[in-house]
Structure 1
Amino acid sequence: MTTFRFLWKLVSYRKVLYMLNALAWSLIYLAPIVPGLLTKQFFDELSGHASYTLGLGSLLTLLLMAALARVSFVLFGFVTDVQFRFRIGALLRRNLLRHVLKEPGARAIPVSPGEAISSFRDDVDQVEESVSWSVDVLGFLVFAAVSCVLLMRIDAQMTLWVFLPLILVVSAAQLSTALLQKYRAASREATSQVTGAISEMFSTVQSIQVAGAEDRMIRRFRKLSDERRQAMLKDTLLTTSLDSIFSNAVNLGTGLILLLAAESMRTGEFTVGDFALFVYYLSFVTQFIQNFGKFITYFKVSTVAKNRLMSLLQGADPQLLTEHHPLYLRGKLPDPQEDSHTAGGGVEAGRLERLDLDGLTYMHPETGRGIHGVNLSLERGSFTVVTGRVGSGKTTLVRTLLGLLPKQEGDIRWNGRPIADPGTHFIPPHSAYTPQIPRLYSDTLRNNILLGLNADEERMERAIRSAVLEDDVERLPDGLGTVIGPRGVKLSGGQAQRSAAARMFVREAELLVFDDLSSALDVDTESKLWDRLAELRAGTTCLVVSHRKAALSRADRIIVMNQGRIEAEGTLEELLVTSEELRSIWYGSEDRDSDSRK
């Protein structure tokens, strides 16, 4: 997609608003035409060359009216400009975020979070700036056309000298295009590196302190900052140099015009009013030349911004960036749409009766490890535990099933129907998932559990009880209204895991997927959690990744993973007899359970 087409697609998102903005700024830049003619009339009257007579009072009144009209146009122009810019920026961020959220979790963004944030902020702002300046250029072009006609009627040769700097400006901008794009891309990349480093330091501050790595991190941050400073310096220096070229070209043209005007007045070809009109328009024409050069610079730089934004799409259709969607900027937000299959909705509506995995494969490109050819079936209401040693592929299996990793081979069938896009299908109310490390936010416990879900108090209470969290809620200073801090730092590890479990239970999904949920729980609390989960078993299917005895002993079926494949499966009693791998896990877990009791 070319830069012009990319910007045009954004403009077409709100054509009427863009046209109103263009009209406003055209009127703003056309407004000086009338004061210029009034100034000419005033000086011609003083010199006795006026073709018609206006009193001083009339001239002042007309000048005041013209000034008030321009102020009104400016206010209108700023309103339309802000409204339009905000909408196209919001559309870009909305489309980009939607794509990122739909990608498998392991490849949501191809860069660090800091770099992605930089694109969301700086690159979108750059695109906004380019589209906004297009309106200014349009308005100035209208003014230049009208003023050119008026100035040509006074002196054609002198008028040509006014527009001569424009040729120099355009030429300079075109010659500097490649270098400008290179420096702007480098400055954006350096800024992303600094932003990413800050994000990493804040997220791993305790690890840095424990390792005594403060000095090393500071040296690394200082190095990245120096690299950013150098890149920004080159970018700013080139941009400022171009501005200098634009300004000096205009000044050169201004000097030539003044010399020609002086000669014309000496020979009597110019009236004082003509000279006043020419000088009055000259400042606006030179401003047009400068702004035209700036627009070319912005347009070229927006190519860098567009390419960086499209890199976040990771090869997806570039049209996704500029797709037109509604933006809910006023009034009440619409309620999140839920799928039609609620409990009791029947097989046709999506209720899970059977889930089949056939030859599911995903190998991590960095290590070559993962899962290969996994065949698995889950019946409605079953409690299946996936176990195995560290690195055996347990987490990779559930993440590939849920679409958080893109499956490379194999099929997933829900009630016999193939699931083409697991990442879109395996979300509430089809399924709910709790990862090994739950993601909590600096908000109230209630909002962390609901995450925007509209659930009544009875449903909330059931979820809290199922997660064995009711006693903890009572002890919190503000109950569910307690703010738990960044990443839930005010909660213990077990409370954080059970809060994530409550988040899963409140969605009343058909399939519940637990990835080592109880790793931070004591034995008694873990036992309560699995017992209460058993109360849901009549209508809920559970897939649990765990090596803990409390989970293994309650399983209908156990899947033993080894080196990315299913080594054995069956009941606990069967596998304790037939599977050496499970015996090792089972008897090894006695020591871990004993440690947790201590």
Structure 2
Amino acid sequence: MSTFTYMMRLIGYRKSWYIANAVLWTIIYLMPIFPGLLTKAFFDSLVPDQPAEFGVGLIVMLLIAAALARSVFIWFGFITDVQFRFRIGMLIRRNLLEHVLKEPGAKAIPCSPGEGISYFRDDVDQTEEAVSWSVDVFGMTCFAAVSCYILIGIDAGMTLLVFLPLVLVVIAAQLATARLQKYREASREATSKVTGAISEMFGNVQAIQVAGAEGRVVDRFRGLGENRRRTMLKDKLMTEMLDSIFSNTVNIGTGLILLLAGQKMRGGEFTVGDFALFVYYLTFVTQFISNFGKFLTYFKQMGVALRRLTFMLQGAPTSVLTAHRALGLERKGAVIDHAVSPGGESSSSVVGSGLGGSAGVSSFEQLELLEATGLTYRYPETGRGIEDIMLRLPRGSFTVVTGPIGSGKTTLARVLLGLLPKDGGIVQWNGRMVKGELGDFFIPPRSAYTAQVPRLYSDSLRENILLGQPDDEVKLDRALRTAVMEDDLAKFPDGLETTIGPRGVKLSGGQAQRTAAARMLVRESELFVFDDLSSALDVETEEKLWDRLFGERGDATCLVISHRKAALARADHIIVLQDGKIEAEGTAEALLESSDSFRKLWHGDLEQSETQ
């Protein structure tokens, strides 16, 4: 998609707001035409020994009235401009965020979170700026056309000198295009690396302290900062140089006009009113020429922003950024307008399309049997992963996937849930193949997932568990009890309202895992997927958790990734992975007799438990 097409698609998103904005600002830029003509008429009426046709008081009142009227229009113009800019910026961020959230979890963004913030913030802001300035350019062009017509009627030669600098501005901007784009792209990239480094430092404070690597981290950050300073300086100098060219070219043209006007006035070819009109219009013509050059600069920088945002799409069409979607700004009762998919379906119907029907999440089918056949995924960087996995989870079953480190246990869970894109295989829910993206299908109330590393936020414990779920005290209490959290809650100063800090730093490892478990359990899904849930729990707490889960889960189906004996002993079915493939499967008793790998895992876990 070209930069121009990108801009036009954004303009078309809220065409009425853009047209209203353009009309208002065109009127604002055309309004100085009247005071200029009024000033010319006043000075032309000043004849020696004759009274002026217009009184000074009348002229002053008319000029004040014109200024006040223009101020009112500017006030409304800012309203329309902010409304339009806000909407297109929000549209881009909404579409980009939706795309990121629909990507498999491990491939959501092709950069660090800190760098991603730079894309969402700086590049969208640059796009807003360029689209907004297109309105100014249109309005000022209308002023230039009208003023040019008036000035040509007075003196064509002098008018040419007024508009000649515009040609030089256009040439200068075009000559500087390649270098400007290069510097802007470099500065954006350097800024992304700095924000990415900040994100990494804050996320790994403990690791940095333990390793005594503070000096090295600071030196690296200092180097990134210095590189950003140099690239930003080049970008700023290039932009300021172009602004200087625009302004000084106009000043040269202004000087030529003043010299020529003086000669013409001596010869009687030019009146005082004509001179006053030229001087009055020159201020606005100068603004037009300078701002036209700025718009060209912003337009080129918008092209850089477009390329960077396209990089975030990871191969998806650029039209994703400008897809016309509802923003949900208008609330009717308790219902916010739904976004509309490119095919015209609401987001709720798209989620339910996995079974080939029109049922949404609210009308899901109760799980009777989940099957995966030939499930395969290979990491592009290493070639490791899982291959040809066969999985069968009947309703109410408790299946444990185990194996040594690196055997593919977590990969299997993530591929099944669509957090990684499968390379092959099919998944069937109650005998019917799940169509479309697995990540769109495996969400509550169909499934709930607890990751190996709990993702917690600097908010209250209640909000970390609910994460948008309705605050149902019965469900919440049941989830907390099953997750063995009641004793911990009694010790927290504010109970469920206790703020747990960034990434849950105020919680122990076991408390963080059980908080994540409560978050999953409160959703009361058909399928629960646990990834190494109890690795940070003591033996007693682990026993309680599995006992309560078994006693209170009802008919829910569980898929558990674990090597812990407490989980293996309770399993209906165990799958042993080795190098991404199923090496053995069956009950614990059968595997203890037939599988050397399982015996090592079983006795290794038992020995570790005895030494703890």
TM-score under structure 1 length normalisation: 0.96
| 1:114 and 1:196 in contact (8 A); partners too | yes
Secondary structure, counterpart of 2:46 in structure 1: helix
Report what 1:375 is aligned to.
Answer: 390
Report what 1:394 is aligned to.
Answer: 409
Provide the C-alpha distance between the structure 2 equivalents of 1:360 and 1:118, rounded to a whole number of angstroms.
Answer: 36
Measured at CA, do residues 346 and 334 of structure 1 come closer, stay the same or move farther in structure 2, by a change above 3 Å? closer
Measured at CA, do residues 163 and 534 of structure 1 come closer, stay the same or move farther in structure 2, by a change above 3 Å? same
| 1:431 and 1:510 in contact (8 A); partners too | yes
Note the alpha carbon deviations across 1:364-413, whole angstroms, 9 max, x for none: 11221111111111101100000000001100100111111110011111
Provide the C-alpha distance between the structure 2 equivalents of 1:252 and 1:581, rounded to a whole number of angstroms.
Answer: 85
| 1:347 and 1:353 in contact (8 A); partners too | no
Report what 1:365 is aligned to.
Answer: 380
| 1:463 and 1:502 in contact (8 A); partners too | yes
Report what 1:9 is aligned to.
Answer: 9
Higher mean displacement: 486-495 or 327-336 = 327-336
Superposition map of 1:76-225 within 5 A: 76-225=76-225
Instruction: Please state how far the C-alpha of 1:510 moved relative to its aligned partner.
Output: 0.7
Instruction: Please state how far the C-alpha of 1:49 moved relative to its aligned partner.
Output: 12
Instruction: Please state how far the C-alpha of 1:52 moved relative to its aligned partner.
Output: 9.0
Look up the equivalent residue of 2:504 and give its one-letter code.
G
Does residue 516 in structure 1 map to residue 532 in structure 2?
Answer: yes
Does residue 428 in structure 1 map to residue 444 in structure 2?
Answer: yes
Instruction: Please state how far the C-alpha of 1:50 moved relative to its aligned partner.
Output: 11
Secondary structure, counterpart of 1:568 in structure 2: strand
Report what 1:463 is aligned to.
Answer: 479
Measured at CA, do residues 323 and 42 of structure 1 come closer, stay the same or move farther in structure 2, by a change above 3 Å? same
Instruction: Please state how far the C-alpha of 1:56 moved relative to its aligned partner.
Output: 2.2
Higher mean displacement: 447-456 or 539-548 = 447-456
Instruction: Please state how far the C-alpha of 1:537 moved relative to its aligned partner.
Output: 4.2
Instruction: Please state how far the C-alpha of 1:45 moved relative to its aligned partner.
Output: 2.1
| 2:361 and 2:445 in contact (8 A); partners too | no
Instruction: Please state how far the C-alpha of 1:39 moved relative to its aligned partner.
Output: 1.2
Instruction: Please state how far the C-alpha of 1:448 moved relative to its aligned partner.
Output: 0.4
Report what 1:547 is aligned to.
Answer: 563
Note the alpha carbon deviations across 1:439-477, whole angstroms, 9 max, x for none: 000001111001011141111111111111122122211
RMSD over aligned Cα, in angstroms? Answer: 2.0
Measured at CA, do residues 348 and 439 of structure 1 come closer, stay the same or move farther in structure 2, by a change above 3 Å? closer
| 2:374 and 2:387 in contact (8 A); partners too | yes
Look up the equivalent residue of 2:227 and give its one-letter code.
E
Report what 1:526 is aligned to.
Answer: 542
Identity %: 64
Note the alpha carbon deviations across 1:125-156, whole angstroms, 9 max, x for none: 00000011001101101111111111111101
Provide the C-alpha distance between the structure 2 equivalents of 1:534 and 1:431, rounded to a whole number of angstroms.
Answer: 17
Report what 1:260 is aligned to.
Answer: 260
Note the alpha carbon deviations across 1:246-305, whole angstroms, 9 max, x for none: 111101111111111111111111110110011000111011000000000000110000
Unaligned runs of 5+ residues in structure 2 are 339-346
Secondary structure, counterpart of 1:559 in structure 2: strand
Instruction: Please state how far the C-alpha of 1:46 moved relative to its aligned partner.
Output: 2.1
Provide the C-alpha distance between the structure 1 equivalents of 2:535 and 2:202, rounded to a whole number of angstroms.
Answer: 25
TM-score under structure 2 length normalisation: 0.94
Report what 2:33 is aligned to.
Answer: 33
Provide the C-alpha distance between the structure 2 equivalents of 1:47 and 1:193, rounded to a whole number of angstroms.
Answer: 69
Unaligned runs of 5+ residues in structure 1 are none
Instruction: Please state how far the C-alpha of 1:347 moved relative to its aligned partner.
Output: 13
Report what 1:55 is aligned to.
Answer: 55
Instruction: Please state how far the C-alpha of 1:206 moved relative to its aligned partner.
Output: 1.1
Report what 1:65 is aligned to.
Answer: 65
| 2:372 and 2:392 in contact (8 A); partners too | yes
Report what 2:344 is aligned to.
Answer: none
Does residue 569 in structure 1 map to residue 563 in structure 2?
Answer: no
| 1:113 and 1:196 in contact (8 A); partners too | yes
Instruction: Please state how far the C-alpha of 1:538 moved relative to its aligned partner.
Output: 3.4
Measured at CA, do residues 50 and 394 of structure 1 come closer, stay the same or move farther in structure 2, by a change above 3 Å? farther
Report what 2:366 is aligned to.
Answer: 351
| 1:382 and 1:537 in contact (8 A); partners too | no
Look up the equivalent residue of 1:269 and give its one-letter code.
E
Provide the C-alpha distance between the structure 2 equivalents of 1:168 and 1:447, rounded to a whole number of angstroms.
Answer: 59
| 2:26 and 2:138 in contact (8 A); partners too | yes
Look up the equivalent residue of 1:148 and give its one-letter code.
C
Look up the equivalent residue of 2:413 and give its one-letter code.
V
Instruction: Please state how far the C-alpha of 1:53 moved relative to its aligned partner.
Output: 2.5
Measured at CA, do residues 299 and 522 of structure 1 come closer, stay the same or move farther in structure 2, by a change above 3 Å? same
| 2:46 and 2:52 in contact (8 A); partners too | no
Secondary structure, counterpart of 2:585 in structure 1: strand
Superposition map of 1:195-344 within 5 A: 195-329=195-329, 331=331, 334=335
Instruction: Please state how far the C-alpha of 1:160 moved relative to its aligned partner.
Output: 0.8
Within the candidate set 412, 416, 419, 2:427 is matched to: 412
Report what 2:490 is aligned to.
Answer: 474
Secondary structure, counterpart of 2:444 in structure 1: coil
Provide the C-alpha distance between the structure 2 equivalents of 1:418 and 1:185, rounded to a whole number of angstroms.
Answer: 45
| 2:364 and 2:446 in contact (8 A); partners too | no
Measured at CA, do residues 86 and 464 of structure 1 come closer, stay the same or move farther in structure 2, by a change above 3 Å? same
Measured at CA, do residues 63 and 315 of structure 1 come closer, stay the same or move farther in structure 2, by a change above 3 Å? same
Measured at CA, do residues 37 and 346 of structure 1 come closer, stay the same or move farther in structure 2, by a change above 3 Å? closer
Does residue 448 in structure 1 map to residue 464 in structure 2?
Answer: yes
